[in-house]
Amino acid sequence: MVRGRGRTAAVWATALWVAVAAPAQAHAAAEPVPYAFEDGARSVQGGSTPSQAEELDADTAYRSSIGPDERLVYRVELDARSSAYVSAVAVPELGSDVTYADGIKVTLESGDGMRCGSQDRRFGSARHPRPLAATADRTIKGNAGRCSRAGTYDVVVERTGADRSAADSWELELNFHEEPPLKSGGGATEAPENANSAPPEVPSGDAESVRGGSGFSSAAAVGAGVWKDRIAAGETRFYRVPLGWGQQMSARAELNDVADSGPAPGALALSLANPVRGEVASEAVSSPGEQPQVALEALPPVDFANRFSPRSEVKAVRFPGQYYLQVTASPELRGDAGGEDLGVTLRVGVRGEAADTPVYAGDAGIFQVDPESDEGGAGGPGAAGGGSDDSMKVVAAAGIGTGTLLVLGLGVWTVVARRRGAVA
């Protein structure tokens, strides 16, 4: 009976060790999590010509792919009142090679070939694979021009790069949104004069824990304050900051406790995208140091009139909604991290209260904020988001496994105790 009790106790001890160690090991594993595409995204095939293009519906996410030097065409139907935005997020495979010149370009053209808007993004000095988003727009500026007409428009997505460009195909996440016009008499028609106003200072103080998402749709909601997270070398995390009319933001990211082992291209990259995923600003630091940090340049307040500015960083801050911070740690920091996740601190400053005007003459859709549902925090809305975040699945699985093993272990322990009582 003593041997049986010993074997039973050993089984219980082993189960308890597995229950405790498994989640701890899962947390310590510093493998970067792949990009989380939006749940329910439809598959779509880009055509080589406009006649082969498949149609994209508004407010619907799509998945596609693009090869080296490939040029794909999709189509959208636009009215004559709404501004339109089509975005493409290029997602190279983790561990693949990219060059300085590699990138993605999105163009929106009228049915007769008039270019209405385009944007291109490159990896630049941060030469490591990470999600790269670009957005093309058709902005309504009165009734003049071929780009103001209702009809079929072509969306052209291109891989850009040099002769030594990456040979792998990239996955794409596509989105199309329409912005309604303002109510009669609302909104300026010229660029604002305060576009160069000084941004708010980034805050100091104690940091609050947050778990960044692995894609735009799973971005964690944060607001003004100091936030701390963990990130693996080579990984990208997403956070969203709600901004209303008239509000202005600043942001700085810092990596903690990184060994200074020499220059690392794009050791820490920080970028900001607007609600339609168009780039607002992007910065990277190449020399790690003990605590590499990168801050965005001065950003203007949210203003409808910003769309009339000749400066891209001002033009992008043209509507309220969710603004997305994207933080990437270089895979070259893997050795400096000693196989562990890196600590990252995100400092976000927001100035002003959201104004009620101007007002859209239709459903604002993504071009609005809800103060009650846009509070940041570790368990706040958006921490899980609408995407399939594999990192959260690992945590959930570990938690479920721990609970199950503990219950089983307690059951075994109860049986042992009863047998002891019977023998006595």
Q: Give which of 99, 100, 117 is closest to 156, Cα–Cα.
A: 117
Average pLDDT over residues 221-238: 95
User: Are 230 and 141 members of one domain?
Assistant: no
User: Are 138 and 262 members of one domain?
Assistant: no
Amino acid at 75: R
Backbone φ/ψ region at 339: left (φ over 0), alpha (ψ -120 to 50), beta: left
Query: Which residues lie closer than 8 Å to 98 by C-beta, 6 or more apart?
Result: 92, 123, 127, 128, 129, 166
Domain count, the chain: 2
User: Hey, how many other C-beta atoms are within 10 angstroms of the C-beta on 174?
Assistant: 23
User: Are 166 and 41 members of one domain?
Assistant: yes
pLDDT at site 370:
81
Q: Is residue 248 part of a domain?
A: yes
Q: Which residue has the higher pLDDT, 165 or 379?
A: 165
Query: Are 216 and 238 spatial neighbours (Cβ–Cβ below 8 Å)?
Result: yes
User: Are 362 and 246 members of one domain?
Assistant: yes
Q: Which residue has the higher pLDDT, 158 or 167?
A: 158
Query: Are 106 and 211 spatial neighbours (Cβ–Cβ below 8 Å)?
Result: no
User: Are 357 and 223 members of one domain?
Assistant: yes
* 279-321 confidence digits (pLDDT tens): 999 999 876 566 789 999 889 999 999 999 999 999 999 999 9
Residue 403 predicted with pLDDT over 60: no
Strand ranges in 2-150 using DSSP code E only, listed in sequence order:
42-43, 54-55, 61-66, 71-78, 83-91, 103-109, 115-122, 132-138
Question: How large a percentage of the chain has pLDDT more than 70?
Answer: 74
Q: Give which of 94, 90, 170 is closest to 128, Cα–Cα.
A: 94
Q: Which residue has the higher pLDDT, 258 or 107?
A: 107
Q: Which DSSP string corresponds to 167-183?
A: -S-EEEEEEEEEEPPBP
Amino acid at 44: V
Q: Is residue 194 part of a domain?
A: no
User: Are 47 and 94 members of one domain?
Assistant: yes
- φ, ψ at 416 (rounded to 5°): -60, -45
Of 22-36, 174-188, 291-305, least confident by mean pLDDT is: 22-36
User: Are 141 and 261 members of one domain?
Assistant: no
* 344-371 confidence digits (pLDDT tens): 999 999 999 999 999 999 999 999 998 6
Residue 23 predicted with pLDDT over 80: no
Q: Is residue 211 part of a domain?
A: yes
Residue 412 predicted with pLDDT over 60: no
Q: Is residue 74 part of a domain?
A: yes
- φ, ψ at 236 (rounded to 5°): -120, 135
Average pLDDT over residues 314-332: 95
**Distance in angstroms (rounded) separating the CA atoms of residues 355 and 167:** 48
User: Are 221 and 366 members of one domain?
Assistant: yes
* 3-19 confidence digits (pLDDT tens): 444 444 444 444 434 34
Q: Is residue 167 part of a domain?
A: yes
Query: Are 271 and 89 spatial neighbours (Cβ–Cβ below 8 Å)?
Result: no
Tokens of 122: 């490159």
User: Are 209 and 335 members of one domain?
Assistant: yes
What is the residue whose two structure tokens read 């562990």?
340
Confidence band, pLDDT 50/70/90 cuts, at residue 165: low
Q: Is residue 414 part of a domain?
A: no
pTM recorded for the entire structure: 0.83
Q: Give me the CATH number covering residue 133.
A: 2.60.120.380
Confidence band, pLDDT 50/70/90 cuts, at residue 186: low
User: Are 368 and 219 members of one domain?
Assistant: yes
Query: Are 62 and 44 spatial neighbours (Cβ–Cβ below 8 Å)?
Result: yes
User: Are 59 and 167 members of one domain?
Assistant: yes
Residue 262 predicted with pLDDT over 70: no
Final residue of a domain: which of 375, 391, 411?
A: 375
pLDDT at site 64:
98
Q: Is residue 13 part of a domain?
A: no
Range of the domain at 158: 31-179
User: Are 219 and 366 members of one domain?
Assistant: yes
Q: Is residue 23 part of a domain?
A: no
